[in-house]
Protein backbone atom coordinates (compact mmCIF):
# COMPACT_ATOMS: atom_id res chain seq x y z
CA UNK A 1 0.00 0.00 0.00
CA UNK A 2 2.80 2.39 -0.97
CA UNK A 3 4.19 2.39 2.57
CA UNK A 4 1.10 3.93 4.15
CA UNK A 5 -0.32 2.22 7.20
CA UNK A 6 -4.02 2.06 7.95
CA UNK A 7 -3.60 4.45 10.87
CA UNK A 8 -1.82 7.00 8.68
CA UNK A 9 -4.62 6.92 6.14
CA UNK A 10 -7.26 7.12 8.84
CA UNK A 11 -5.50 10.09 10.39
CA UNK A 12 -5.42 11.92 7.07
CA UNK A 13 -9.13 11.26 6.47
CA UNK A 14 -10.05 12.52 9.93
CA UNK A 15 -7.87 15.61 9.56
CA UNK A 16 -9.38 16.45 6.17
CA UNK A 17 -12.91 15.98 7.51
CA UNK A 18 -12.27 18.13 10.59
CA UNK A 19 -10.54 21.01 8.82
CA UNK A 20 -13.03 21.27 5.96
CA UNK A 21 -15.81 20.94 8.49
CA UNK A 22 -14.54 24.15 10.10
CA UNK A 23 -14.96 25.92 6.78
CA UNK A 24 -18.46 24.50 6.48
CA UNK A 25 -19.29 25.61 10.02
CA UNK A 26 -18.51 29.21 9.09
CA UNK A 27 -20.71 28.91 5.99
CA UNK A 28 -23.56 27.41 7.99
CA UNK A 29 -23.25 30.10 10.65
CA UNK A 30 -23.90 32.72 7.97
CA UNK A 31 -27.01 30.92 6.74
CA UNK A 32 -25.62 29.27 3.59
CA UNK A 33 -27.23 26.12 2.22
CA UNK A 34 -23.92 24.26 1.89
CA UNK A 35 -22.75 24.04 5.48
CA UNK A 36 -20.75 21.88 7.84
CA UNK A 37 -21.82 18.47 6.56
CA UNK A 38 -21.44 19.38 2.89
CA UNK A 39 -17.94 20.80 3.26
CA UNK A 40 -16.84 17.95 5.54
CA UNK A 41 -18.06 15.39 3.02
CA UNK A 42 -16.27 17.19 0.18
CA UNK A 43 -13.03 17.25 2.18
CA UNK A 44 -13.40 13.60 3.19
CA UNK A 45 -14.19 12.50 -0.34
CA UNK A 46 -11.30 14.42 -1.86
CA UNK A 47 -8.88 12.96 0.70
CA UNK A 48 -10.21 9.44 0.17
CA UNK A 49 -9.96 9.68 -3.61
CA UNK A 50 -6.41 10.96 -3.25
CA UNK A 51 -5.44 8.12 -0.90
CA UNK A 52 -7.00 5.55 -3.24
CA UNK A 53 -5.07 6.98 -6.17
CA UNK A 54 -1.81 6.82 -4.20
CA UNK A 55 -2.15 3.53 -2.31
CA UNK A 56 -4.83 1.59 -4.14
CA UNK A 57 -3.18 1.10 -7.52
CA UNK A 58 0.24 -0.34 -8.24
CA UNK A 59 0.49 1.41 -11.58
CA UNK A 60 -0.87 4.57 -13.07
CA UNK A 61 -0.62 8.29 -12.56
CA UNK A 62 -2.15 9.51 -9.25
CA UNK A 63 -2.45 12.96 -10.81
CA UNK A 64 -5.20 11.72 -13.13
CA UNK A 65 -7.51 11.08 -10.16
CA UNK A 66 -6.71 14.51 -8.73
CA UNK A 67 -7.67 16.13 -12.02
CA UNK A 68 -11.03 14.36 -11.95
CA UNK A 69 -11.66 15.58 -8.39
CA UNK A 70 -11.21 19.18 -9.51
CA UNK A 71 -13.64 18.67 -12.38
CA UNK A 72 -16.21 16.93 -10.20
CA UNK A 73 -16.14 19.64 -7.55
CA UNK A 74 -16.73 22.19 -10.29
CA UNK A 75 -20.09 20.59 -11.04
CA UNK A 76 -20.95 20.41 -7.34
CA UNK A 77 -20.08 24.06 -6.83
CA UNK A 78 -22.25 25.06 -9.76
CA UNK A 79 -25.22 23.62 -7.91
CA UNK A 80 -24.61 26.04 -5.04
CA UNK A 81 -24.97 29.08 -7.31
CA UNK A 82 -28.32 30.57 -8.17
CA UNK A 83 -29.25 33.72 -10.02
CA UNK A 84 -32.23 36.00 -9.65
CA UNK A 85 -33.14 38.95 -11.83
CA UNK A 86 -30.56 41.27 -10.30
CA UNK A 87 -28.30 39.18 -8.09
CA UNK A 88 -26.03 36.15 -8.24
CA UNK A 89 -25.72 34.28 -4.93
CA UNK A 90 -23.70 31.29 -3.81
CA UNK A 91 -20.40 32.17 -5.50
CA UNK A 92 -18.52 32.30 -2.20
CA UNK A 93 -20.02 28.99 -1.08
CA UNK A 94 -19.09 27.38 -4.41
CA UNK A 95 -15.53 28.69 -4.04
CA UNK A 96 -15.50 27.33 -0.48
CA UNK A 97 -16.43 23.85 -1.72
CA UNK A 98 -13.67 24.06 -4.32
CA UNK A 99 -11.17 25.15 -1.65
CA UNK A 100 -12.39 22.39 0.72
CA UNK A 101 -11.62 19.84 -2.00
CA UNK A 102 -8.12 21.29 -2.34
CA UNK A 103 -7.63 20.99 1.44
CA UNK A 104 -8.80 17.37 1.32
CA UNK A 105 -6.51 16.54 -1.59
CA UNK A 106 -3.53 18.15 0.10
CA UNK A 107 -4.05 16.28 3.37
CA UNK A 108 -4.80 13.06 1.55
CA UNK A 109 -1.46 13.32 -0.22
CA UNK A 110 0.35 13.89 3.09
CA UNK A 111 0.64 17.68 3.12
CA UNK A 112 -1.09 18.01 6.48
CA UNK A 113 0.67 21.20 7.59
CA UNK A 114 -0.17 22.85 4.28
CA UNK A 115 -3.77 21.79 4.74
CA UNK A 116 -3.91 23.37 8.21
CA UNK A 117 -2.36 26.61 6.96
CA UNK A 118 -4.73 26.63 3.98
CA UNK A 119 -7.72 26.20 6.27
CA UNK A 120 -6.63 29.12 8.45
CA UNK A 121 -6.19 31.32 5.38
CA UNK A 122 -9.64 30.38 4.05
CA UNK A 123 -11.28 31.13 7.40
CA UNK A 124 -9.42 34.42 7.53
CA UNK A 125 -10.76 35.34 4.11
CA UNK A 126 -14.33 34.33 4.92
CA UNK A 127 -14.49 36.00 8.33
CA UNK A 128 -12.07 38.91 8.06
CA UNK A 129 -12.92 40.07 4.56
CA UNK A 130 -16.65 39.80 5.23
CA UNK A 131 -16.20 42.48 7.89
CA UNK A 132 -14.34 44.62 5.36
CA UNK A 133 -17.15 44.12 2.83
CA UNK A 134 -19.73 45.13 5.41
CA UNK A 135 -17.78 48.24 6.33
CA UNK A 136 -17.48 49.27 2.69
CA UNK A 137 -21.16 48.53 2.10
CA UNK A 138 -22.18 50.73 5.03
CA UNK A 139 -20.21 53.64 3.61
CA UNK A 140 -21.58 53.26 0.09
CA UNK A 141 -25.07 52.03 0.83
CA UNK A 142 -28.11 53.83 -0.49
CA UNK A 143 -30.74 54.66 2.12
CA UNK A 144 -33.37 51.88 2.25
CA UNK A 145 -36.90 52.49 1.10
CA UNK A 146 -39.77 52.19 3.57
CA UNK A 147 -42.87 50.27 2.57
CA UNK A 148 -46.16 50.32 4.43
CA UNK A 149 -47.97 46.99 4.23
CA UNK A 150 -51.58 46.96 5.41
CA UNK A 151 -52.78 43.52 6.54
CA UNK A 152 -56.22 42.30 7.52
CA UNK A 153 -54.85 40.39 10.51
CA UNK A 154 -51.68 40.44 12.61
CA UNK A 155 -51.09 36.75 11.84
CA UNK A 156 -50.06 37.77 8.30
CA UNK A 157 -47.02 39.71 9.51
CA UNK A 158 -44.61 36.77 9.71
CA UNK A 159 -45.72 35.51 6.30
CA UNK A 160 -45.07 38.90 4.72
CA UNK A 161 -41.60 39.23 6.23
CA UNK A 162 -40.68 35.65 5.30
CA UNK A 163 -41.76 36.23 1.70
CA UNK A 164 -39.81 39.48 1.40
CA UNK A 165 -36.66 37.89 2.89
CA UNK A 166 -36.58 35.46 -0.04
CA UNK A 167 -35.96 38.40 -2.35
CA UNK A 168 -34.16 40.86 -0.06
CA UNK A 169 -32.24 39.26 2.80
CA UNK A 170 -31.44 42.72 4.21
CA UNK A 171 -35.10 43.56 4.88
CA UNK A 172 -35.74 45.16 8.26
CA UNK A 173 -38.97 45.30 10.22
CA UNK A 174 -39.19 48.87 11.49
CA UNK A 175 -42.50 48.85 13.29
CA UNK A 176 -46.08 47.66 13.35
CA UNK A 177 -49.14 49.73 14.19
CA UNK A 178 -52.09 47.56 15.10
CA UNK A 179 -55.80 48.37 15.28
CA UNK A 180 -58.42 47.04 17.70
CA UNK A 181 -60.06 45.03 14.92
CA UNK A 182 -56.86 43.02 14.30
CA UNK A 183 -55.73 44.87 11.18
CA UNK A 184 -52.60 46.97 11.03
CA UNK A 185 -49.76 48.51 9.05
CA UNK A 186 -46.33 46.88 8.93
CA UNK A 187 -43.42 49.14 8.01
CA UNK A 188 -40.40 47.44 6.44
CA UNK A 189 -37.19 48.78 4.91
CA UNK A 190 -36.03 47.26 1.62
CA UNK A 191 -33.34 48.00 -0.94
CA UNK A 192 -34.51 50.82 -3.26
CA UNK A 193 -33.89 48.93 -6.49
CA UNK A 194 -36.19 46.14 -5.34
CA UNK A 195 -39.02 48.34 -4.11
CA UNK A 196 -41.29 47.88 -7.12
CA UNK A 197 -40.79 44.12 -7.36
CA UNK A 198 -41.33 43.60 -3.62
CA UNK A 199 -44.40 45.83 -3.63
CA UNK A 200 -46.03 43.82 -6.42
CA UNK A 201 -45.10 40.53 -4.78
CA UNK A 202 -46.46 41.49 -1.36
CA UNK A 203 -49.61 43.04 -2.85
CA UNK A 204 -50.50 39.66 -4.36
CA UNK A 205 -50.31 37.88 -1.00
CA UNK A 206 -53.45 36.73 0.75
CA UNK A 207 -54.39 38.98 3.64
CA UNK A 208 -52.56 42.05 2.29
CA UNK A 209 -54.95 44.87 1.45
CA UNK A 210 -52.54 47.64 0.51
CA UNK A 211 -48.85 48.31 -0.12
CA UNK A 212 -47.49 51.82 -0.41
CA UNK A 213 -44.21 53.71 -0.24
CA UNK A 214 -44.32 55.80 2.90
CA UNK A 215 -42.56 59.00 3.82
CA UNK A 216 -39.89 59.24 6.55
CA UNK A 217 -42.26 61.46 8.56
CA UNK A 218 -44.87 58.69 8.76
CA UNK A 219 -42.17 56.18 9.67
CA UNK A 220 -41.02 58.43 12.55
CA UNK A 221 -44.59 58.80 13.79
CA UNK A 222 -45.00 55.03 13.92
CA UNK A 223 -41.74 54.70 15.84
CA UNK A 224 -42.84 57.05 18.60
Domains of the chain and CATH, by start: 6-139 (no CATH), 145-223 (3.30.70.260)
Rounded CA gap, 80 and 87, in Å? 14
Q: Residue 15: what pLDDT?
A: 92
Query: pLDDT: is 177 or 39 the higher one?
Result: 39
pLDDT band at 173 (very low <50, low <70, confident <90, very high): low
Tens-digit pLDDT profile for residues 27-58: 888 777 677 888 899 899 889 988 888 876 66
Q: How far is CA 212 from each of CA 24, 162, 220, rounded to the nearest angstrom?
A: 40, 18, 16
Rounded CA gap, 222 and 215, in Å? 11
Work out the end-to-end distance of the chain between its first and last CA atoms, rounded to an integer number of angstroms: 74
Rounded CA gap, 157 and 167, in Å? 16
pLDDT band at 72 (very low <50, low <70, confident <90, very high): confident
Residue 211 contacts residue 195 (beta carbons within 8 Å): no
Amino acid sequence: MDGLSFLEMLGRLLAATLLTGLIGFEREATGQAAGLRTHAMVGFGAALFTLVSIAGFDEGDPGRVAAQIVTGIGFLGAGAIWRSEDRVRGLTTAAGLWAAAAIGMGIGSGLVVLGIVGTLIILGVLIGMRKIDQAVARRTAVAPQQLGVTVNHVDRIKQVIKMVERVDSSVQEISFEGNPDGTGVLVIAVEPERTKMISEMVQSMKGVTEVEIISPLYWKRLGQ
